Structure 1
């Protein structure tokens, strides 16, 4: 957008802030990352243009502020170290089924999507303990990541770590235990599905769409199917 050129064209003092993970080994590696970023972010062969600053202008000053802010702690943790390889292309967000339906502002961190759900708990696990659960573990983000970050594996690792730290709210812990029982017992799962389908068909509209249920203010519950997938599969198989 030209913001970098606009910001340094007039002032004599140029101060730039960057995370320490932005440092690359050699200048010759820059071309590789530039092409990789463009192809993964927008599908272009290369960015439209790139601004390079090699030093201060004559008579001016250039200061580079390298920000740590917990990055060395992440680097010291083998399970999440590779998250610092992120080049912010946004490919994991574009393919994530959760992000595509919720949007960036629904995340409680500056960086949204799968990579944000990994970096956020590292900075403040108490404030962002829910983000690793905003994931279906489908692995689509890992498949498209150009720098090969095992994103869904790291999200799963964060779930285990947060559980060990006892940072999951009581209500969520109880609901997860209930889900484990239901999903691990076939007859309970089938009965729960049957009961849910019947209930959605007979419940009055006002019972599910009211002021107390904020979820349905801007959403409609899907129509209950007549038969479960298991029943349809048995019928088609035959």
Structure 2
């Protein structure tokens, strides 16, 4: 997680610029898309939200180093360890709706980690934990914002952005034979409901489709490379 946050919160990086754009006093209030505003205002606000979502997912999809903790080389890769079978995860790591999509043996080790499960683990690390439950929901704790800059506007805009990103995660991490992921009950009080967000999702439908496609293509390739590394380890030790 620390490696991800170092990447995401690089002061000169695109992610930091995007987040800063949502928190200064001249930023649009994204929540007005939920509460109601004129059509012309909604177009401007939607554009800012679309820009943030598309560029954040684009930045995430650009992460696929060959070496290091996030790398595709199994000898040093934490991602390889994340998606392989036989792992024991810390208590509380998974959201309940994620637990319901995974399989464990009698020793609580992961089993039957197919590509769908691996994709869920990958996206869960990079977006659900790397962005939503940390940077966006606890920006002061993770030093994204100072307490003075954590205004009502910043909190509200981050909440809208977190809800949209989580919606995209829920859409793309469907495992065969399982129902679509609901808003995790552990996060419901921090998110806007699907009913509240319906007009927002309608306005930014193309952005959501773009984000889903980009994440899916990135995840498939990431996992493909990890599987090759896994096969190499099994064959050559």
- TM-score with structure 2 setting the length: 0.24
Q: Which has the higher helix share?
A: 2
The structure number with the bigger radius of gyration is 1
- TM-score with structure 1 setting the length: 0.24
Structure of greater relative contact order (alpha carbons < 8 Å, 6+ residues apart)? 2
